[in-house]
């Protein structure tokens, strides 16, 4: 089952807020409700958000009553603005929207229906490409995993975070499918518990051995030699190789460096943002304090307590051993080699 799917003018999303207790699919028929689904984290994960946005533009085209190209494009520009503000950190969202806008703005179209059909085709292409890209990343990344390795993983980067298969978890899945024996230490990933809820659910279904650990246990396990490598995803990678990812990633990267544990980010090239020179320019989403002050809706703090809740942090490029992309493993110097990866390959 795809985490993001389309059926005759309806976008279907696995509601990730309901896992692991129940597998529920939510349906959306307009771009406004789909943008809200992104904001509410019905769907999450940079690649999945990007494809969802692409389908959102397709929905906007179908729902528009425009009978001229100019009017349709005006409606699509408004839809783009709504979708673009759903979540700010993952660059895949803006990437997908601009890709769809390029389709809509193509001067060769003769009628609004030409544009509507093209937007649907392009969204389907993005979805299919995502799966193919993830499988290629899985093959490249699996080269880093040896038989018997213990892998530390943060947040969720599996099929749920993409259309299917996954990024960092896709690497783990590929190594498992190759017959390598491995074990995954799953950071619970407070405050929304994407590791304990989603990654653990995926690993269980795949038959891959794992243990859930408290986020704060990662340093102890690395220092005592119980971790062979760290695999994480990315929501945006700046031109110099700084990586924005789920909050807590920076802490793990620093500890991994201290303990001599290789640290890899796995992300498609669509996550690389060459327009930003470094990670300080990446917008960091601030989410509701309630997520920190509660666990699964149950209060855990004194009444009246306040909280800060940045959803992401930035790991400086110096802490990365390499970035795994669909075109191969990108090693330092990342500022040079990420550009090479984006321009057609790695030497």
CB-count burial class (<10 Å; 0-12, 13-18, 19+) for 149: middle
Catalytic member of 75, 130, 235, 242: 235
Question: Which residues, in sequence order, are CB contacts of 241 under 8 Å at separation 6+?
Answer: 317, 320, 323, 332, 334, 335, 338
| Closest C-alpha to 252, from 315, 325, 166, 198 | 315
Lookup: tokens for 92: 């895949």
What is the chain's length? 347
Angle at which helices 91-104 and 112-142 cross, to 10°: 140
| Closest C-alpha to 95, from 273, 239, 282 | 273
3-state secondary structure of 243: strand
Please give the span between the terminal C-alpha atoms of the chain, in angstroms, as a whole number: 36
Question: Which strand (E) or helix (H) includes residue 202?
Answer: helix 200-206
**Backbone dihedral angles phi then psi of residue 22, each to the nearest 5 degrees:** -150, 145
Residue 250: CB atoms within 10 Å? 18
CA 158 from centre of chain: 9
Question: Which strand (E) or helix (H) includes residue 219?
Answer: helix 218-223
Active site residue 114: no
Please identify every residue annotated as catalytic: 235
């Amino acid at each position: 089952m795809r985490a993001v799917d389309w059926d005759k003018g309806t976008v279907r999303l696995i509601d990730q807020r309901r896992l692991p207790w129940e597998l529920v699919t939510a349906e959306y028929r307009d771009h406004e409700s789909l943008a809200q689904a992104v904001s509410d984290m019905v769907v999450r994960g940079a690649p999945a958000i990007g494809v969802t946005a692409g389908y959102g533009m397709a929905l906007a085209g179908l729902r528009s009553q425009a009978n001229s190209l100019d009017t349709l494009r005006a409606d699509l520009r408004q839809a783009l603005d709504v979708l673009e503000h759903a979540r700010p950190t993952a660059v895949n969202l803006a990437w997908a929207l601009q890709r769809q806008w390029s389709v809509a703005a193509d001067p060769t179209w003769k009628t609004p229906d030409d544009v509507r059909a093209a937007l649907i085709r392009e969204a389907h292409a993005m979805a299919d490409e995502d799966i193919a890209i993830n499988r290629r990343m899985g093959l490249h990344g699996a080269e880093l995993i040896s038989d018997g390795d213990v892998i530390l993983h943060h947040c969720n980067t599996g099929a749920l975070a993409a259309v299917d298969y996954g990024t960092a978890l896709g690497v783990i899945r590929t190594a498992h499918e190759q017959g390598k024996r491995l074990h995954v230490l799953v950071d619970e990933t407070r405050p929304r518990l994407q590791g304990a809820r989603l990654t653990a659910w995926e690993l269980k279904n795949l038959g891959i051995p794992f243990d859930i650990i408290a986020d704060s246990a990662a340093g102890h396990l690395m220092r005592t030699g119980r971790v062979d490598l760290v695999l994480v995803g990315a929501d945006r990678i700046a031109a110099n190789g700084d990586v924005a990812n789920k909050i807590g990633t920076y802490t793990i990267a620093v500890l991994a460096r201290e303990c001599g544990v290789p640290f890899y980010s796995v992300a498609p090239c669509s996550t690389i943002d060459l327009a930003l020179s470094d990670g300080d320019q990446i917008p960091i989403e601030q989410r509701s304090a309630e997520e920190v002050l509660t666990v699964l809706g149950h209060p855990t703090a004194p009444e009246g307590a306040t909280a800060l809740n940045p959803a992401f942090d930035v790991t400086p490029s110096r802490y990365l051993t390499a970035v795994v992309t669909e075109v191969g493993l990108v090693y330092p110097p990342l500022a040079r080699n990420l550009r090479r990866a984006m321009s057609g390959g790695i030497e």
